[in-house]
Amino acid sequence: MKKKVIALIVIIMIVLLFPIRTHLKDGGTVEYKAILYKVSKINQLISEEEMEQNGKVKNYDKGIIVEFLGIEIFNNVI
């Protein structure tokens, strides 16, 4: 009985923590999504208008966004 419970817990942990990799067509962003968390490596092209509005020098955004249970805990997108 104890081995079955441990095996069940291990299977549940694998399902909750195993990410699925997704490539977005916005300039190279890659997202790793699991049930509990999401990590996005941002490499996103932006328009000339958006550059001028936000006062940016480069025409792309780069950085990492980490979310846990849908709550953003880290964001360093420049």
Q: 57, 43 in Cβ contact below 8 A?
A: no
> Nearest-CA neighbor of 40 among 59, 24, 54, 56?
24
Tell me the whole-structure pTM to 2 decimals.
0.76
Q: 44, 31 in Cβ contact below 8 A?
A: no
30 vs 4: CA distance, rounded Å: 36
The domains of the chain are located at 2-75
Quick one: what percent of the chain has pLDDT higher than 70?
Answer: 99
Residue range 8-23, pLDDT digits in tens: 999 999 988 999 999 9
25 pLDDT tier (thresholds 50, 70, 90): confident
Of residues 23 and 48, more confidently modeled: 23
58 vs 70: CA distance, rounded Å: 29
Check residue 75 and give its pLDDT.
Answer: 94
- Sign (positive/negative) of CA torsion 20, 33, 37, 31? positive
